Structure 1
Amino acid sequence: MKATPVIHAGNFQKGRDWAAAAGLALLINLLLFAALPAVKLPPAPAAEPYRQPGPVTVTRLRPSRPLPAPAPLVKPSVPEKKPEATAPARSVPAVKKVPAVSPEPVETTRPDSGAETTPEAPPVPAGPQVFDAMDLDSPLVPVFRKPPVYPAHAKRRNIQGWVTVSFLVDAKGRVTDVTVTESDPESIFDDSVIQCVSGWRFKPGTIAGRPVVTKVTTTIRFELKADE
């Protein structure tokens, strides 16, 4: 046997009601859409033209009440210092006056004019005048001038140097007052130079034909030769 579907009358009635409601709603929407063009909206208000703001005036208002004057500065009152009580001055006993004693006059006696007096010492005679070599009329002439001895310790160490020496040549041609003024190296050749120069002899220089004392300054060099 074939199965035949059974359609209930109640379900069919519900479908018809739903279709009728949907058709009614569609009809209402169509009517509203058709009526929209007929509705006139009010025109939009016209925009006002732009106005440039005018100049701004600033008015300075004065205060209605005057400002109160500043209060005067009040200096702090300094309390007056009370005078300190001072102790009463002690009375000083009166000093008895002592009579001044005047010294007795001393008698002075003048020496007799005939008394002997101590003779004054004679003045010390001045030394001979010293002249420079450029002041001479005739120059100094060496008579004996032996060279200095090269110190052995300086020769062993290959030390070379020089000595500047000054001295006086008296009126007889002898050398005195030998003094080393400068040397390099110091104190290496000084003694050899002093001993050597002290034995030199000269023919004295003259001024106006008279021999005079002359000051001389010379430099003696110590140099090693190749064969030494």
Structure 2
Amino acid sequence: MYADRYGKTGIKPGSLSVAIGLNGAILAALIFSAPEIITQVDPIFEGRNIPLPDPPPIEPIKKIEPKIEPKLTQPVVERPFIPDTIMPRSADMTELVGTTSLDPGVPEGTATGTGPAPYVPVHIPTLTGATRDSRYANAFQPIYPPAERRAGNEGRVVVRVLIGTDGRVKQVEKVSAASDAFFEVTERQALNKWRFKPATRDGVPQESWQILSVSFRLDEDG
């Protein structure tokens, strides 16, 4: 019965009209309210330029210089000048005159004027010191001073003597002495009785100095 009254849909015609009217009213309200919503938009969106903060300054790119390692150089050492030949000269040197030539027509030892300088050998002299002459060994000990013997004194004398080329004592110097009496008898004995084989230089007699000592002992006095 209701289907015949309201049709097959079962919806009343009056209710449908009311629904359509309500929808239209809502749609109209939305249309009229849209301008008000748009006018309330933030002014920054109205086409104005938005100021931006200044960008930070850009630092210039620093140029990296390549690191150059210092070159190690050896210090320059100045060497002293050394001559090619050092030949000391003295009165005892024997010089070889000229050079030896391989030419059979030139006598040996004749200076040719060419070639290296002649070789000069260095002579080292042969020296020998003075020694006591054994033939006069018993004359070496001086006599005991009588005053020192009576007093029971003993002592020692050290003297420096100059021996001549003939082997005799030419000069006596006191180094030390237990008493003047001991030195006096020693000096007298040395000048008068002491004999030596003189020092030599390449076999030639030479004067020389020598230090000798003399002891005085009562138990050794003859």
TM-based fold match above 0.5: no
TM-score of the superposed pair, with normalisation by structure 1: 0.37
- State which structure, 1 or 2, has the greater radius of gyration over its C-alpha atoms: 1
- Greater relative CO, 1 or 2 (CA 8 Å, sep 6+): 1
Higher helix share: 2
